[in-house]
Amino acid sequence: MENNKLKESFKKLEAIVKWFDEQKEIDVEAGLEKVKEGSVLIKESKKRLKALENEFESVKKEIAKEI
């Protein structure tokens, strides 16, 4: 997942939450689809965040080495 994809994922996730908020009568099937979509996005985002965190830690170490 690219960096901007993470941003996109957040947008999509927020749209899903908004969708739930806007429903007066929740269509359970449509809701489940949204939750499924949301869980995939959350999983991917968590993975990406972890990767970014790892990358960041290694950059931090590199900087510490250079100075």
In DSSP notation, the chain reads --HHHHHHHHHHHHHHHHHHHH-SS--HHHHHHHHHHHHHHHHHHHHHHHHHHHHHHHHHHHHHHH-
Among 33, 40, 52, 61, binds another protein (CB under 8 A): 52
Q: Binding another protein by CB under 8 A: which of 2, 28, 62, 65? A: 28
Residue from 33, 40, 56, 58 in contact with another protein (CB under 8 A): 56
Residue 26 in contact with another protein, rule: CB under 8 A? yes
Q: Does 51 bind another protein (CB under 8 A)?
A: no
Size of the site for another protein (CB under 8 A): 24
